[in-house]
Amino acid sequence: MINPEKLEAILSHYQGGSADLIPVLQDIQDENNYLPKDQLKVVAHKLQVPLTQVYSVATFFKMFSLEPKGRHQIRVCLGTACHLRGGQRLVEMVSRRLGVDIGQTTPDLQFSLETVGCLGSCAQAPLLMVDDQYFGRMSMDKVPKILKSYKNQD
Amino acid sequence: MNSDYVNLTIDGQAVKSQSGLSLLLAAREHGIDIPTLCYHDDLKPEGHCRLCVVEIGEPGRTRLVNSCTYPAEPGLIVQTASEKVLQARRMVLELLLAEAPAAELIQKMAAEHGIYETRFKKADPQARCILCAQCVRTCREVVGVSAISMAFRTPKKIVATPFKEESEACIGCGSCVFICPTNVIPYTEKDGIRTVWGRHFELQPCKVCGNYIAPKAQLEHWAKITGDPVERFFVCRDCR
Amino acid sequence: MPKLETVQQLEEYRRRLLTHPDAQALQILVCGGPGCLPMGSEEVAAAFRQELKERGPAVKVLLKESGCQGWCSKAVKVMIRPQEITYQQVTPQDVPEIVAETLIQGKILDRLCYRDPADQTAKAHKSEIPFYQGQQPLVLGKMDLIDPTSLDDYLAAGGYRALQQVLEQMSPEAVIQAVGRSGLRGRGGGGFPTGRKWRLCREASGEVKYLICNGDEGDPGAFMDRAVMEGNPHAVLEGMIIGGYAIGAHQSFIYVRHEYPLAVKRLSLAIDQARQCGLLGDNILGSGFAFEVKISKGAGAFVCGEETALIRSVEGDIGEPVPRPPYPAQHGLWGKPTVINNVETWANLPEIINRGADWFAAMGTEKSKGTKVFSLVGAVNHTGLVEVPMGTTLRQIVFDLGGGIRDGGEFKAVQTGGPSGGCIPKEYLDLPVDYDSLQSVGSIMGSGGMIVMDQSSCMVDVARYFMSFLHDESCGKCTPCREGTKQILEILTEITQGRGSEEHPALMEELCATMRSASLCGLGQSAVNPVLSTLKYFREEYEAHIQQKRCPALVCRSLLKYTIDPETCTGCLACVRECPAEAIRGEAGEPQELDQELCVKCGQCYEICKFKAVKVES
């Protein structure tokens, strides 16, 4: 899973130094769906920043995960407009269907479930995203079909 | 900091202070003591605890600022113990009593401000950390190894070693333990081994008198900085 | 795209674009904005592409995917130019007819038009529609006009003319004076006078200065910055280059939140285009001025919308704010003087230069000049982005533009300014919207989120929702915010779960006073607004929760009771399948029974029942 060449390729785009830390971590997160501990140690060394800083940044920002995430990221919006339109019930339903809590990944590593503060499509509340696909004006009955379509894809 | 002086008013008194000096230190120079929690003379002030707030500005247009970083400015009007300031300090302490119920320093300071109990929901009764970050800042600025840091954010914010595992950068010096105002960091010494942040450090005895000097890792760190052979540090100060 | 090395070359290139035969062609612009994208705008555009391809070269129509056309509740929207015919709720199935009838024969399809509620007549033209009539598009002006991926479109629409004027005819000092005279205030929420900020930075000592565009837009319910970054990225760049020239900065960053990948893509493309033709880089248009833009992506932290936290994030550190002074204008990114302004602030600059500071200052109120873009969402009939002069009243926005409360509901409150804003009750509907008026009633302008609530919203739940958000986003550095948000959330949760006590309101007010006065940054300081405003204006709702353990709006679950009406229940068992507590029992085809002991009051049965057989009361 940990490919040192891929990490080298990512790091080669950067000069080193603190300002590159977040972009490097973002690249690694996009590549692996999480931040492997060993790669973070290499990053600290290559960018010449303390490992503590890497760890602080990796745990401060919501986009980063130290645990492997699923192949498909489900993000249910809990922005104000979505909250007022039943966003909470929507995420609970998805959570029940998948059998995982918010912030967790299904055991088969297919889906990760998260809530987001706002996806920026407030007029189509309630909203959820699977990877980079938006699903607006969601209702409970649409959930099983959407999940099934991704299950069938894999 | 330059050598210009500015005139300002602190608690009704006209005073002269070095331009840019923090209001906390300017007040101290004039005999006014402002309580603090995260401030330390040897660390860069960062404004975590908010206990040192003072009220500045013209009457009717005042606001609270943390005195540990706010600089002395010409004509500034400062009140270090106004009603607004005291209300804020009491509330900060009341919140800390709930966050760190076992922290004796907080209980003492709260009592000094007339707060003996907290109306808020308490955390773990053994909790003592007030997240003042003195340990983290000491390790980073004074010791220079940055072995611990602030991880996560509200509601899970903690001081931790990377991945909550043994920190490779740690030299076992115990400065963090020493500086912590509420005795949070566990630290033991037994049979020539010092244990701090879950890592065991072999203590180096003096080659002459046999007393323990410091962890070997710490002496090796000093040797790396000075460029001296590490054996030089294996003799304690008394025996030199 | 040719390299444009002088202002004359740019003018010549623009002239060629304007006299090109395509400039007068019939155009169809499919909205690809944040409201239409999730509703299938790409499929509609693809359908047009296909249909036009099949029709062949005889039908000369230019197809474009535009930025946000504003009226998101009517997604997918389509605009036909030059007539400015606007169709709504367009599906791929409508496309052949639109092409055949409207594009080729010029006939209006009434069924795709806005209907005047008075007499149901179809209004096809943008100028006839109240939603657009009440607006003053400045920032949003080019959104339904250009393809945001085309620099040519932006140039043809007059883009980069302001930059030409600045580089050719104005000194940096003159630019700062113009911005000052215009009265422009920061559109991100702080409302700090932009001209003054620029002057502070220009006068700060040091050769190296930075400029940052804050595209973090963390307020839930706000998407205007997203729309501008995606729909008119060059306007942001043009504003930034002008700003860089004025303050003497040559390097800049656009900080875009991680949740906006399309905005990153569009801005990156715009930067490449500008660089290729010489509008970015060294010696821009022969002026000798050099300017570069880089994109910095956020990583998921609302607090990084705060200036000093944003700076730390760009520097590669955690987003914990730092006390001010010193202010970023004097000591910012890597310790250098830095100007940070919001996306919308930057996007205002080209028009201020083009039309003049006095023109801008003629709009708005005494202390709040110009226009403001609002994201009008929630319980109104017409949701979307609207741009109005400062001083427009809440009533005008909610009722004239928003079309009033949907589904025959009743206006209860409007929340402005995102999680840092307050809830404003109907008593203040005639409040003119500007920075100071909103503050006077316990709210803020914020970035422009405007969330309308009706009788189905519980104001205690709303306060709890916002405090939960802020508690989760709080960086944790300072005591009042870290512990304050936690304890207020605790108390509000108790209240919404029926364990509130008489002392709670006063205790919250006392804690809020310290959070407001002593928190290190705006997040903690403004976190009190939702709680304090709802306590002030909706006290009776709090009292119902605390004293009677009732939620009048039927939202707070612990205080609700669900029952199944045997008269209406058909026994379809849809609710049984969804019930997480297995609390519903009965035979198929027979009325079901809900066991109150087992019921966890999640409301799923209520949501899923097609026959409205599930009743709820408090």
Candidates B89, B94, B124; CA nearest to B107 is B94
Mind listing the pLDDT tens digit for each residue in C208-221? 999 999 999 989 88
Region class of B190: left (phi > 0), else alpha (psi between -120 and 50), else beta: beta
How far, CA to CA in Å, does C152 sit from each of C80, C147, C271?
Answer: 19, 9, 14
Mind listing the pLDDT tens digit for each residue in C239-269? 999 999 999 999 999 999 988 989 999 999 9
Write down which residue in C547, C575, C607 finishes a domain: C547
Provide the chain A residues 1-40 that lie in CB contact (below 8 A) with chain B.
37
Q: Are residues B13 and B91 in the same domain?
A: yes
Q: Are residues C115 and C189 in the same domain?
A: no
Strands C78-81 and A133-135, bridge-based pairing? unpaired
Sort out which chain C residues have CB atoms less than 8 A from A65's CB and list them.
none
Q: What is the CATH number of the domain that holds C258?
A: 3.40.50.11540
Sort out which chain B residues have CB atoms less than 8 A from C474's CB and list them.
153-154
Q: Are C418 and C447 in contact (CB under 8 A)?
A: yes
Sort out which chain B residues have CB atoms less than 8 A from C487's CB and list them.
95, 98, 120-121
**Any domain includes C140:** no
Neighbours of C88 (CB within 10 A): 18
pLDDT of residue B2: 55
At B143, list the tokens. 């010791």
Mind listing the pLDDT tens digit for each residue in C225-241? 999 999 999 999 999 99
Question: Is the CB of residue C296 less than 8 Å away from at least one CB of chain B?
Answer: no
What number is the average pLDDT over the span B183-197? 94
Q: Are residues C260 and C331 in the same domain?
A: yes
At C512, list the tokens. 């809020």
Candidates C104, C50, C114; CA nearest to C77 is C114
**For C606, phi and psi rounded to 5 degrees?**
-60, -40
Write down which residue in B74, B108, B127 finishes a domain: B127
Mind listing the pLDDT tens digit for each residue in C527-539? 999 999 999 999 9
Question: Is the CB of residue A137 less than 8 Å away from at least one CB of chain C?
Answer: yes
Minimum CA–CA partner of B147 in chain A = A52
- In DSSP terms, C384 is beta-bridged to C376
Across the interface, whether the CB atoms of A53 and B150 are under 8 A apart is answered no
With cut-offs at 50, 70 and 90, classify the pLDDT of residue C614.
very high
Q: Within 13 Å and on the Cβ side, how many CA atoms surround A146?
A: 25
Question: Is the CB of residue A101 less than 8 Å away from at least one CB of chain C?
Answer: no
Residue C575 CA, chain-centre distance (Å), reads: 37
Q: Could you give the 3-state DSSP secondary structure of residue C522?
A: helix
The whole-angstrom separation of Cα B177 and Cα B196 is: 9
Q: Are residues B92 and B183 in the same domain?
A: no
Q: Could you give the 3-state DSSP secondary structure of residue B158?
A: strand
Q: What is the CATH number of the domain that holds C520?
A: 1.20.1440.230
- The sign of the CA dihedral A65, A66, A71, A76 is negative
At C445, list the tokens. 């302008």
**Any domain includes C139:** no
Q: Are C480 and C518 in contact (CB under 8 A)?
A: yes
- The contacts found for B14-21 with CB under 8 angstroms, 24 or more apart, are B17/B72, B18/B72, B19/B71, B19/B72, B19/B73, B19/B74, B20/B71, B20/B72, B21/B71, B21/B72
pLDDT of residue B88: 98
Sort out which chain A residues have CB atoms less than 8 A from C218's CB and list them.
117-118
Does residue A1 surpass a pLDDT of 60?
no
At A29, list the tokens. 């997160």
Mind listing the pLDDT tens digit for each residue in A82-123? 888 888 889 988 998 899 999 899 999 899 999 988 777 777
The domain A4-60 belongs to what CATH superfamily? NADH-quinone oxidoreductase subunit E (1.10.10.1590)
Annotated domain spans of chain A:
4-60, 72-153
Burial of C544 (0-12, 13-18, 19+ CB in 10 A): buried
Question: Is the CB of residue C322 less than 8 Å away from at least one CB of chain B?
Answer: yes
Across the interface, whether the CB atoms of C314 and A118 are under 8 A apart is answered no
Q: Are residues B2 and B118 in the same domain?
A: yes
| Owner of token pair 């050099």 | C290
Residue ranges with strand state E in C173-227: 210-215
Q: Within 13 Å and on the Cβ side, how many CA atoms surround A94?
A: 32
Mind listing the pLDDT tens digit for each residue in C72-123? 999 899 999 999 999 999 999 999 999 999 999 999 999 999 999 889 999 9
Does residue A4 surpass a pLDDT of 90?
no
Range of the domain at B175: 134-239
**Mean pLDDT score of chain C:** 95
Q: Are B187 and B195 in contact (CB under 8 A)?
A: yes
pLDDT of residue A2: 59
**Any domain includes C4:** no
Q: Could you give the 3-state DSSP secondary structure of residue C549?
A: coil
What number is the average pLDDT over the span B7-28? 96
Neighbours of C (≥3 Cβ pairs closer than 8 A)? Answer: A, B
Which has more confidence, C261 or C426? C426
The whole-angstrom separation of Cα C403 and Cα C389 is: 18
Sort out which chain C residues have CB atoms less than 8 A from B46's CB and list them.
322-323, 477
With cut-offs at 50, 70 and 90, classify the pLDDT of residue C1.
confident
DSSP string, B44-84: -----S-TTEEEESSTTS-EEEETTTPBP-TT-EEESS-HH
- The letter for the amino acid at C186 is G
pLDDT of residue B110: 98
Residue ranges with strand state E in C379-490: 384-389, 411-416, 423-425, 449-454
- In DSSP terms, C474 is beta-bridged to none
Range of the domain at C175: 151-361
Q: Are residues B35 and B51 in the same domain?
A: yes
pLDDT of residue C356: 97
Peptide bond into C326 cis (omega under 30): yes
Q: Are residues C407 and C463 in the same domain?
A: no
Peptide bond into B142 cis (omega under 30): no
Minimum CA–CA partner of A65 in chain B = B152
Question: Is the CB of residue C229 less than 8 Å away from at least one CB of chain A?
Answer: no
Question: Is the CB of residue A50 less than 8 Å away from at least one CB of chain C?
Answer: no
**Any domain includes C146:** no
**Any domain includes C553:** no
**Full-model pTM:** 0.93
The whole-angstrom separation of Cα C157 and Cα C310 is: 33
Across the interface, whether the CB atoms of C514 and B154 are under 8 A apart is answered no
At C554, list the tokens. 């039927």
With cut-offs at 50, 70 and 90, classify the pLDDT of residue A31.
confident
Mind listing the pLDDT tens digit for each residue in C165-203? 999 999 999 999 999 999 999 999 889 999 999 999 999
Write down which residue in B107, B127, B147 finishes a domain: B127
Q: Are residues C342 and C207 in the same domain?
A: yes
With cut-offs at 50, 70 and 90, classify the pLDDT of residue A81.
confident
Q: Which helix (H) or strand (E) holds B135?
A: helix B134-137
Mind listing the pLDDT tens digit for each residue in B111-137? 999 999 999 999 999 999 999 999 999
Partner residue opposite C220 with nearest CB, options A49, A63, A117: A117
Does residue B1 surpass a pLDDT of 60?
no
Q: Are residues B74 and B154 in the same domain?
A: no
- How near does any CA of chain B get to the CA of C597, in Å? 29
With cut-offs at 50, 70 and 90, classify the pLDDT of residue B26.
very high
Candidates C483, C485, C527, C519; CA nearest to B65 is C519
The whole-angstrom separation of Cα C463 and Cα C529 is: 9
Distance separating the N- and C-terminal Cα atoms of chain C: 66
pLDDT of residue A136: 87
Q: What is the CATH number of the domain that holds C586?
A: 3.30.70.20
| Owner of token pair 């130094």 | A17
Neighbours of C610 (CB within 10 A): 10
The whole-angstrom separation of Cα C473 and Cα C591 is: 46
Q: What is the CATH number of domain A72-153?
A: 3.40.30.10
At A105, list the tokens. 């990944």
At C526, list the tokens. 């403004």
**Domains contained in chain C, number:** 5
Write down which residue in B127, B153, B183 finishes a domain: B127
| Owner of token pair 């079901």 | C592
Q: What is the DSSP letter of A69?
A: P
Q: What is the CATH number of the domain that holds B34?
A: 3.10.20.740
Sort out which chain B residues have CB atoms less than 8 A from C483's CB and list them.
95-96, 98-99, 120
The whole-angstrom separation of Cα B193 and Cα B175 is: 16
**Domains contained in chain B, number:** 2
Q: Are residues C443 and C355 in the same domain?
A: no
Q: Are residues B183 and B201 in the same domain?
A: yes
- How near does any CA of chain B get to the CA of A54, in Å? 8
With cut-offs at 50, 70 and 90, classify the pLDDT of residue C59.
confident
Minimum CA–CA partner of A54 in chain C = C317
Q: Within 13 Å and on the Cβ side, how many CA atoms surround B73?
A: 11
Across the interface, whether the CB atoms of C223 and A120 are under 8 A apart is answered yes
Question: Is the CB of residue C314 less than 8 Å away from at least one CB of chain B?
Answer: no
pLDDT of residue A65: 94
Question: Is the CB of residue B154 less than 8 Å away from at least one CB of chain A?
Answer: no
